[in-house]
Amino acid sequence: MLEIDTIESLDALQALAPEWSALLARTSLRTPSKSPLWQLTWWRHFGARRSLACRHEMQVVTLRGADGALHAVAPMMLTRRPGYGPALVRELQFFGADPYVTQLRGPVCAREHLSDVGVALATFFRSRKGHDLVQWRGMAPGACATAQGERQPALEDIDSCLIMRESWDAFHGALPKKTRKHLRKSRNDLNAAGVEIEFRVATTPEETAQGLAAFYDLHSRRAALTDVARHPDVFAGEAERAFLNDYCAQMAGAGDMRIFQIRVAGQIVAARLGFAFGDQLYLYFSGYDPDFGPYSIMTTLMAETLQWAHENGVALVNLSSGVDRSKTRFRPEMIAAEGFYSVRAGWRGRLAFAAMRKLRGGAAAAPERDEGPEEAEAGELAGA
């Protein structure tokens, strides 16, 4: 039997951080959005904001075993719409209701405990009042049926993970022949054009601040392309940049920030953000100079990054949320998670869910869906 409690203040959440960090360190998949640092920073920048449209109230759920040890954390909040006056919709959801910034939302616990945690949370929420519906993310397969929910493909996710081998040569040799050919071609095209590249990894606070400035520019330039798969400019807004600057500065201060870069003649032409969690590396959003798209520069950056990971004791590289060719060519482990709504019985729940369907353009269309950062480039889409 798990003992369940709720945290409703920032001070109490900060007090939980050491236990939460220890719990995360014991999990097999350690991602930014499951860390207390990300969630505390997110709450300050997004969760604590109030508007006429909506406001959030902290409802973080902790689950402890009989011995008092922290078993799981569900970083959740109650979102009221509108933000003031009588609420039409009262929705429980995980931290991360932002424009694509937060990936892989859901409970924090060991993978083998996720199913039991889901059952405990569903039972707990059914016994509580004050909300009309629950938006679930990152749940174990089968959780939707257990919670008597409505499946929502837009809330489902896939995490792509690569297990590192004993060496880069062993990892490279085990790749599909087509992938090895693509990696070789991307480097040969650069050599044939006389382009000399330099691979760097920014880690210090000073390097991180400079690297983020270049990243924002490259990310925006990639988003502006119209002849390749469209990507949103996730960090176009001041709030999104303020959040990322804050989080990355703290990660750099702790020695856990990585910005993987390719430079040509001293200029950064490709960059991808990375976050270290012990012996695991999480690869976040990227950007590149469109002039180097025909050379598949992001493919070269990925190869350099994976080689660096093998040489620096990384055991697992998380390629982040979503599925695209830049991930699948490396044959990662695909870890699926369910997403769905559960609605409280009664007229309020039915009315709230109908309102959310209308607000989000249909039950399957959630505006805050976490899109994985794809990396396909012009050369790749052309069959290079």
| Phi, psi at 110, each rounded to 5° | -65, 145
* The CA-based dihedral angle spanning residues 323, 328, 332, 335, taken in that order and rounded to the nearest 10 degrees: 20
In this structure, are residues 380 and 178 in contact, taking their beta carbons and an 8 Å threshold?
A: no
105 CB burial (10 A radius; 0-12, 13-18, 19+): buried
Helix or strand holding residue 138 (H, E): strand 133-139
Distances (CA, A) of 13 to 47, 76, 134, 150, 344: 13, 12, 21, 30, 27
Least confident of 20-34, 48-62, 105-119, 367-381: 367-381
Quick: pLDDT tens for 126-182. 999 999 999 999 999 999 998 889 888 989 999 999 999 999 999 999 999 999 999
Q: Reduce the DSSP state of residue 24 to 3 states and report it.
A: helix
Between CA 134 and CA 153 the distance in angstroms is 15
Between CA 177 and CA 200 the distance in angstroms is 27
Between CA 109 and CA 143 the distance in angstroms is 15
Mean pLDDT of 88-97: 94
Pairing assessment for the beta strands 60-64 and 3-7 based on DSSP bridges: antiparallel
| Residue 183: both structure tokens together | 């990696």
Select from 267, 277, 274, 265 the least CA-distant residue to 304. 274
Mean pLDDT of 102-122: 96
Quick: pLDDT tens for 234-246. 999 999 999 999 9
Between CA 75 and CA 93 the distance in angstroms is 8
Least confident of 140-144, 208-212, 341-345, 375-379: 375-379
Select from 311, 249, 243, 319 the least CA-distant residue to 281. 319
Average pLDDT of the chain to the nearest whole number: 91
Select from 93, 104, 107 the least CA-distant residue to 46. 93
Confidence check: pLDDT of 384 > 80: no
Distance of CA 42 to the CA centre of its chain: 13
- What the chain holds in terms of domains, given with CATH numbers, is 3-157+337-359 (3.40.630.30), 161-332+374-381 (3.40.630.30)
In this structure, are residues 87 and 80 in contact, taking their beta carbons and an 8 Å threshold?
A: yes
Confidence check: pLDDT of 194 > 80: yes
Mean pLDDT of 113-135: 94
Helices (H), ranges, 9-100: 10-25, 36-42
Distances (CA, A) of 143 to 75, 158, 243: 18, 15, 32
Least confident of 232-236, 348-352, 355-359, 377-381: 377-381
β-pair partners for 337: 157
